[in-house]
Amino acid sequence: MLYTQQIWNEVREEITEKLKIVQIVGSFPPMRCGVGDNTYELSKRLAGLGHQVDVITSKDADENSPHENIKIHPVMRGWSVFYGGSLLKRILKIEPDIIHLQYPSKGFGKGFAPSLLGMQLKARKLASPYIITIHEFSHARMLRKAAIMPLLSEVSMILFPSIQERDALRFRFSTLSKKQSRVIPIGPVLPENYDSLKIKFEDNKENLRRKWDVPEDGVIVNYGFLHPHKGFEVLLKAFEKICISGYKCELWHVGAFDPHRKSYDRFINYISNQGALKDKVKFKGFLPIEEAAEIFTIARVGVFPFTDGYSDRRSSMITFGHFDAPMITTVSTVGDVNERIKKHVTLVDPNDVEQLAEKLEAIIANDALYERAREKSKGYKKLYDWNDLAKRIEQVYIDLLEDRPIGLSYDEHIFTESEILAEYLYDDEVEAMIKEHEDKHKDADKNEK
C-alpha cells in the first residue's frame, strides 16, 4: 500500500499526540533538590498533556505516582560508571520516543554515569532524540564542568533555564555553541491544590499572622538553599539597618538550614546572632510547600539579593512570586530580562547594602507603597506559567521527532508502509491508526471509481 504525504502528515499528527518520554534525574521527591522538584512539576504537566512519562531516578525517591500517566522508576542505587549499564538497560526496556536528562541534580553526586549516557545510546543506535537540560553551569565546581564535554557530546538538543547559563557554557566550551539549544525558563514548585489554597490563605491572612506570630511591622522572607551567590549576607547587613531604625519586624529564612554540617550555614548562623540582628533572624528550616506557602502569603516582602543578578532559573523566587507578595531582587546581567520583570518587582544593584536597605524600609514603613508593590507583583507569575512552559518543551520534543525519519521530506513524495512503520510502529495503538487511515483511503478510492 502506498501513502501520500497528506496521509503521512495525518498519521504523524496523531502519533505525536501521545509520546513516551523518559525523564532522568538524580533526585525526585521526597528527596530535597530543586532540579528534582522541577522535574516533578514538568512531568505532571506533560502527563496532563496526554503523554506517558517514565522517571528514572535514585532509590530514595517515592515510587507513588502523582498522575496516572507517570511511572516512577526509583531503581538507581548510584550514578557512578558502574551503574551506567543499569541505566541504559532501563531506558531500552521502556522504549521511549524521547530521552530527557535533567542535569545536574543533587542525587547524581559525583557520579559519571550521566556523562557517558549519550555515547552509550549512540553505540546502541537508539534513534530517540536525546535532550539535556543544563540547570546550572556558571556556579558548578571544576569536576562537574569537566564532565560537560562527554555529557553533551551526543546530545540532540540542549535546554537552558536562562540566557546566563547558556552564555556561561558557550564561553567555557565554544565548540558546544554549534549544538542545537533553546532557552526555556523553569516554573514554580506549587502545592497540588494551589488555586483553592491560595484563595483560602488570602481569606485567612489574619489567622495565619497569629498562627506564625508575625511581629507588628511584618516579616521579610528569603526562600531557598543558602549559598554565597544568593546574597544572604548582603540581606543581613541591610536588615541590620532596618533593626537599628527601630522597626518591629523579623527576617525569616525558609529552606534547608544545617549549621552543624555546613560551614556556610554555620557562618550565617553566627553573624545572625550578633548586635542588632540577635533574636530578629529566624531560620524556619525546610518546610512542606503547603506550610511555606502560608509564610509567603503573609510576608511583607520577599527579598532575593543574588550577587550575580536575577535570572530565569531562580526557582525559589519564581515559587515565592506565585503568592502575590512584594519582591525585591537584583538587576539581571541580561537587559531583556530586566525589561520583562521590572513591571512586577523592585530592582536593586547587586551587593548594594544601602540601596537594599532603602527599598526595604520604604515597603515596611509605607502601607500605600506596600499595596502598590503587592498589586504589581501579581503579574509576575504569568511570566512563569507551567502550562505555557510545558507546551514549549513539548514543542521541542515534537520538532526533534519530525526531523528523525530517514529519507522523508515535506514535498509530495510517495512513501511505502514499511518506511513509516520502521520509524513509528511502537505499539498496537499506532498500528491501528495506520490501518484506519488505510481503510479510509481504500473506501475513498472505491467511491471515486
The predicted-structure confidence for 210-242, as pLDDT tens digits, reads as follows: 999 999 999 999 999 999 999 999 999 999 999
* Per-residue pLDDT, 174: 86
Interatomic CA distance for residues 196 and 335, integer angstroms? 36
Give mean pLDDT, residues 303-322: 96
Interatomic CA distance for residues 199 and 407, integer angstroms? 54
**Residue 68 burial (CB < 10 Å; 0-12/13-18/19+)?**
exposed
Least confident of 9-13, 89-93, 126-130, 389-393: 9-13
Question: For the chain, what is the mean pLDDT?
Answer: 87
Using alpha carbons, select from 213, 184, 110, 96 the residue that is nearest to residue 388.
Answer: 184
Least confident of 49-53, 156-160, 171-175: 171-175
Question: Is the omega angle on the peptide bond into residue 104 within 30 degrees of 0, that is, cis?
Answer: yes
CA quadruple 244, 249, 255, 258: dihedral sign: positive
Q: With pLDDT > 70 as the criterion, what percentage of the chain qualifies?
A: 85
Give mean pLDDT, residues 382-407: 84
Residue 142 pLDDT grade (very low, low, confident, very high; cuts 50, 70, 90): confident
Same fold for the pair 18-183 and 194-385: yes
Tell how strand 250-254 and strand 219-223 pair up: parallel
* Per-residue pLDDT, 407: 29
Give mean pLDDT, residues 198-219: 95
Are 222 and 303 spatial neighbours (Cβ–Cβ below 8 Å)? yes
SS3 160: strand
**Whole-structure pTM value:** 0.82
Angle between helices 34-48 and 386-402 (to 10 degrees): 70
Are 433 and 11 spatial neighbours (Cβ–Cβ below 8 Å)? yes
Interatomic CA distance for residues 229 and 219, integer angstroms? 23
Interatomic CA distance for residues 352 and 231, integer angstroms? 10
Using alpha carbons, select from 58, 30, 3 the residue that is nearest to residue 420.
Answer: 3
Q: With pLDDT > 90 as the criterion, what percentage of the chain qualifies?
A: 76
* Best CATH choice for the domain 18-183 from the list 3.50.50.60, 3.90.1420.10, 3.40.50.2000, 3.50.30.10: 3.40.50.2000
Interatomic CA distance for residues 74 and 55, integer angstroms? 8
Per-residue pLDDT reduced to its tens digit, 406-422: 323 333 333 333 333 33
Are 99 and 22 spatial neighbours (Cβ–Cβ below 8 Å)? yes
Residue 110 pLDDT grade (very low, low, confident, very high; cuts 50, 70, 90): confident
Report the topology of domain 194-385. Answer: Rossmann fold (3.40.50)
Phi, psi for residue 77 in degrees, rounded to 5: -80, -10
Least confident of 127-141, 346-360, 363-377, 434-448: 434-448
170 to each of 104, 152, 203, how far by Cα in Å?
17, 12, 48
Instruction: Give the cell for residue 131.
Output: 535532550
Using alpha carbons, select from 287, 291, 282 the residue that is nearest to residue 219.
Answer: 282
Dihedral (C-alpha) 339, 341, 345, 346: value to the nearest 10 degrees? -30
Using alpha carbons, select from 357, 355, 350 the residue that is nearest to residue 308.
Answer: 350
* Per-residue pLDDT, 192: 86
Are 364 and 217 spatial neighbours (Cβ–Cβ below 8 Å)? yes
Domain boundaries, the chain: 18-183, 194-385
Instruction: Give the cell for residue 199.
Output: 484563595
